Chains A and B, each alone.
Chain A
Amino acid sequence: MNSDFEIIYRSNYQRLFRITAKMLRDSDAARDVVHDVFMAYYFVQNDKKVIKDAKNWLIRCTINKGVDFLRKNKKIVSDETFVKQDNTSQNIDNQIDLMSLLNLISKLDGKDQSLVVLYSEGYSYKEIAEITGINFNSVGKTLSRILEKLRRDYETL
Chain B
Amino acid sequence: MKHFDETTIQKYLDNELSPEKRNEVEKHLENCQECSKQVENQRVFAENVKKSIETFVPNEVEIPDFKIAYQPKKTRTLRIVLISSLSTACAILLAFFIIKGFKKEPENYDIYDFITIEEYDANKPMTEQLFTYIENNI
Chain B minimum-CB-distance residue to A143: B10
Residues facing A in B32-76 (CB within 8 A) are 41-42, 45-46, 48-58, 61, 63-64, 66, 68-69
By the criterion CB–CB under 8 Å, are B56 and A25 in contact? yes
Residues facing B in A8-66 (CB within 8 A) are 9-10, 13-14, 17-18, 21-22, 25-27, 31, 35, 38-39, 42
By the criterion CB–CB under 8 Å, are A150 and B56 in contact? no
**Count, chain A residues at interface, CB 8 A:** 41
**Total A-B Cβ pairs within 8 A:** 90
**A19 → chain B closest CB, angstroms:** 9
**Count, chain B residues at interface, CB 8 A:** 28
Residues facing B in A114-157 (CB within 8 A) are 116-117, 120, 124-125, 140-141, 143-145, 147-148, 150-151, 154
Chain B contact residues, CB within 8 Å of chain A: 6-7, 9-11, 14, 16, 41-42, 45-46, 48-58, 61, 63-64, 66, 68-69
Chain A contact residues, CB within 8 Å of chain B: 1, 5-6, 9-10, 13-14, 17-18, 21-22, 25-27, 31, 35, 38-39, 42, 81, 96, 98-99, 101-102, 105, 116-117, 120, 124-125, 140-141, 143-145, 147-148, 150-151, 154
